[in-house]
Structures are given as structure tokens and as C-alpha cells.
Structure 1
Amino acid sequence: MRTALLSALEPADGGGLRAELSLAGRSVLSWQASLALELGCERILCLCDAPNPAILACQREIEAGAQFHAVRSLHQLVALCRAGDMALVLADGLLPEPSVVAVLVEAEDRWRRGIWTVPVEHPAIADRADTFERIDASRRWAGLSVVGAEIVARIADGPADGDALAILLRLGLQAKIACRPLPEEVLSQGQWQVAARAANIEAREVQLVRTALPMPPFAAPLRALATLAARSIGAANAARGRVLASLVGIAALVLGAVLIAWQQTAAGLAFAAAKLFAADIAEACERLQARIWSAGEAVRWTRVRMLGGASVAAALLCFALVQEGALDARLALPLLMLGLAHLASVKAGSAAAFWNDRATHFLLFALAASFGALAEALALLGLGALTSILLKGYRR
């Protein structure tokens, strides 16, 4: 059985415990427990003096996916470990990037045993050297180990009031478990943070947001602006940001349809562009939420909304053409253009980002409609998408 050994004992610089500090609305302990679940842990053992609100909240979060035990003594820890178990040990307050930990510890269908290390004088750990216990003259523990149950069982031989993680480290070194250096880029890119004070939490939240919301190329200007807006909303406010952006988008859609019905086509399409821009913000906030809560449902619902959004966009464009008197074959232009743009967003290589930016497309349509050339703009943009697809195929 895969087991995670966490700790909620170390004090934070500003009072309280490191494990209780909040990152994007979740405790540090909750983040560590989620990491353990992602790595396949079936049981989580948390060293503590007594259950506190962070521990109880963490237990409620994960109890559907794993067993959770608050451990108050070394003997209790030994009693909970079973022969054949593998234990993932994380330092108190450590907030590593989950994908990095997965690469470090996973080896095919099993965990790779090891004690990960960092250089003694590395600048990335200079302000938190007390967290990374010294191993020898040149190395410190990086706060991550994978050991077998036989190592954990020997912890009972140590002092009853000893530091369990420090004892485990020494036992692992005595058992000749391989010491594995942490990759330099992990430290230099801020993917190995310790939550000891507010500044560390802020740095980790910035890293979290950037990982969840990579910037699209500025070939897709409004999608890039939507991503910047979602980043500025932040992880802690992502849920509220998603709801607010969705409501704004609905209001803009209704106004756009009303304006098109009043034959104010350019203004109506501009509001439709605002609706799509708000939808991009809402989608970015949802991706951020999914990253915070490790939710898999977001991807499925995003695809459903993409299909619904494309249908609404086609209907609006057809409505606009009807209002301009286009009751002929030109009504097929919105479907052709949107279909070709979708294909180009998948197959057009470096130009794909632009073809995925529907808010920008609608802004261009609004501009064209102000000159009475909406049908021509649809045809030209459709031809542009087709050209991008063909050029990509030609380069192959």
C-alpha cells in the first residue's frame, strides 16, 4: 500500500502552524494531501500534537479517496505501517510542484526509493535552511523521501519525543537508500517552495497561477487579455471570478441579440465579442479552480460549453445576416467560417492561436458590419482559415 507521511507540527513565522497557512483558499496540509492522492496514496498519516481545524478539514476533503489518520506518537505511527507498505515522506510545509514530484518518484508502475537532496549553500533554500536538514558537508535533505515500511518500523527504537522525520532521514541514510539530487531547474524555477511565511505562500501562488494559466501567444489578443484578467483575479477569487464573468457574458449576449434585432448589427456583434471575451475569462478561472482542487470535471464541461458557444455564435451571425437582408446562400457562411476556424485552431501550427480566438473574430465582424461588409468578412476569414490549414499540410 502506498502511504504518505505528512507533518503538522512546525510553527510558521507569523504564528500558527505551517500546515495551517492558506494557499488559494486551501491549507498547506490539504495541498500536500492532494499531492499524495495524485501519486496513488491510499492512506495518509499526519503527525500532529492534536487535531486542529486544518487537519479536520483535510480529513473531510480526502476521506472519499483515502484513509486519514492523525498520529500523535511514534508508536502509533509504527502500528499504522504494514509490511510491504511504501511511504512518501514530505517535510512540514513543503509545497513542491506535483508534476515534478511525480517525475521524481514514479518508475513505471512503482515508486522509486530515494532520499532527495539539495546543495548546502543553494540560494533557493538560503532563507529556509532549517527545513532542509543537513546530511553531510555538501548536501541537505530536500524534504522528500520514499522509504519502505521496514524503515518506518525501526522508528520505534528512537526516543519517544524525537522528531519523526529527522529519525526517518537518519534511518534511511543508515540503510543506504540512494540519495538523489534535486534537479537544478526545479529549484531555480521556484517549483520547490516552503510555506513558512506569507512571502513564501505568495511566491507559490504566483507559480501556481502561471502553471495553471500559461499565456497564449499575442496572435490571439483577446484570449491573451482574458488570461491576464484571470491571472489578476487570482487563485483565491477564481470561483467568484468565474461566476461574475459568466453573468457578464450572459448580459452581453442578450444585449447583443437585442441590438441586432434593432438592426444595430455592428454594436450587437461588438457585444457578442464582449460575451466571448467574458466566456474566455470564465473558462480560465475554471481551469485555475480545477488546478486548485484537482478536479477532472472541468475539461469535460469546458468542451460542452465550447460546443454551445459555437452554436450560439453561428446563430448570432446568421441572425445578423438575416437582418441585413441576406436570405440566400450567404446564410451558410457563418457555419463554414466557424468550422474552418475550428479546424485551423487544431491544425494550423503557429497560426492556431489566432483561429481559436473567437472574441477577436467577432470584433473584426463588428468592424466589418459597420461598413456593411459582414458577409464579405465572413468569407475572407473563412478563406484565411482554409489557407492556414492548406499551408500547414503543404509544409508537412
Structure 2
Amino acid sequence: MESKAMTTSILLILLLDVTFCASIGGSIEETPSPESLAASGKKAQRKQYSYGRARQLYQNTLSYFIDGKDNGTEIDSGQRTGDNARQVDDYFKNHHSVRKSKENDRTQSNPPSGSTSGCKESWSAWGPKTVLFGCGERHRNRSCNGKAQVERRTDCSNPTFDDQLMYFKKFFFKPLQQYRKQKSKKKGNSYEQPLDLLFLVDRSESMQRLEFSRVCSAIATLIKNMELNISPGNNQVAMVTFGTDSNVEFKFNDYTSILNVQNAIIGIPQHRSGSSQLEQALRYSADIFNSSKNFGAHKGSRRVMLIVTDGQSTHDPGAAAKKLKQKFDVEIFVVGFKVIDEKQMMAVSSHPKHHHVFYFETAQKVHRMVKQLKLKK
């Protein structure tokens, strides 16, 4: 009898191990394979099935070993198995509640994608990475019960064409949509704030002839798709190219229509010039934006600069860009392709940095990106 009791105890201990494994999703006999359940997207059903199957197997085994005679007296197997069933229920429920509590803690610290957590507002789309290359953070936000919430995640992927197209459209293209066919009205000797847009384009030795041609074509297409109201007293466009030296291709007040600006951009010869002196070009651009100089800049205008470059500046352009932004309130965007110095581009651009720097692998992709930009009618 003692031997039988000992054997029963050992088997019960082993069975508890089996049921514990089953409770955390392990497979047991006659349980569907994890592959088939995962394929049908029934992860929750697998957990529920494993729990129910383990409980049933435990009760059946208890009934098998406990059911019988003890000193000639019939044992009430239903009562005994019922007591043990309640114990096993308590065990599994406690185990499940602990796991659920841990899952809730993880959810609160890092809410899953698409989760609303009782909020009516859904999450915004993920913003751009805080850096172009390497690991950076992406942010998204929402309002929940009147309180702003921000969710962050780490992203180590390289920039993709579709992402950069989306962000360029969102942060550069659409905000300038307000200048489409805008008519300025005189107020004394001043105007309502028009737009002065300057393109600063790299023409150093690293820029091949075909690449320069594609960049100019991309800028001309961008001007067309933006549909700016370029006219006397309204929005204006100027262009400066740079290499070892800087050259004003046309001033703000040289052309007063979109077509004339497009033709001027397409007709610019490459005349490549040595190294990329972006720092010098930024210092030179300060005169272009100075309304007291003879470059046609408006007084009190909104000033925006778009830099297009394929490489690294010979000298650090950060200080020159800082002075340009502080003194003339210029908002600076950068489009880079081929091999760029991300640190320099971030130093040059306006804040937030990851909203003002964009990267495309080739000049051809820059052109392709611009062709896909369209304003809503």
C-alpha cells in the first residue's frame, strides 16, 4: 500500500510538471501544433486550449489513480477529484493573473501599435527618425482625455525613398501651399508677408554633368508643382550655385512668372568648380536675403532656403548657417544624395532637424521624388 501511495505521489508530481508546461503554451498530446494555430492567427485560442486540455488531463489522471478502495472502503472519487479540480483551477488562475499583470505593465510602458487604451483619439502616424543613418527614435502622439501622449520607438533602418518622399511633402511642400496664387495687399509702405525662396545648389567637381542637369530639372519641376504666385510684390525665387566660389544665377526680382523662373533654371550651365564650399555659400546668401542689398529680397518676408548637395563641405558650415538663421530668420532645408556628411547637414538645417533634412541615393531619385509631388486642387 505504501508503495502504491508513493508511486501515485511521484506520478502526480510528474503530471503537475506536464500541466505547468501546458499552461504556458507547451504542446501536449492531441493538442494542435503551434504552426497550424499561428498560421490561422489563433494565438489566444492556443493558450485557452492548452489550459483547458491540461486541466482535463490532470483531473482524468487524478481520477485514475485515486479512484479505488482504501482499507476496504470505497473512495468518493467525484469528491476527491472535485477538490483537486478546484485546487488546480486556483493554481492556473493565479498563474494566469500574474502573467496578465506583467503583460499590462509592459503595455502601459510601451503601448502597442493601434491601441487606444480607452481613448477616443487614435495615434498619429510615426514621425521621421531623429537621425538619417544608424539608430534613432521615431515619435507619434495623440490626445487622451485632454492630455497629450507621446510614444517612442527605436528604429535602426536606413532611409527609404517612400519615407523621404512623404516627409519632404509634409514638412517642405505642403507648408508652402499657402503661397499658391496668394495676392499681397499693401499696408502703407509694406506688404503682407510674401515668400522669398532661395535654392542653393552644389556644382562642385563631385557633381557630374548629368547629375547637375537632373537637379536643375527637379527644381524646375518643383517650382511648377508648387504653383507659387510669382509676380511683382508677391512671392519670389532666387538661385545660387556653389563650388569653390559662389555664383548668383538669378536674383529674387529677376523673374516674375513661374515659366520664366523654370526656363532660367533649366538654362543654367554646370561650370563645375573645385571643392564644395558650403560655408562660403551660406555667408554669401546672407547678402541675398538682405533687403538693403540689391538682390530684390522683400523686407519682412518669410525666408526659406533649400540646399541641394551631393557631398561634404570642405569647412564646417554650422556657424555660417546659425548666423543666417538668427539674423535673417531663414528656415533652412537640406536635400542630400550620394555621400553626405549627416552631422554637417543637421548642423546647417533648422529645428527640428529631422523635419528639415532629407536623403535620396541619387540625383535621379531626387527628380523622381519631385515629380510625384502634387498639390490638391
Whether TM-score is above 0.5 comes out as no
**TM-score normalised to the size of structure 1?**
0.19
Higher share of residues assigned helix: 1
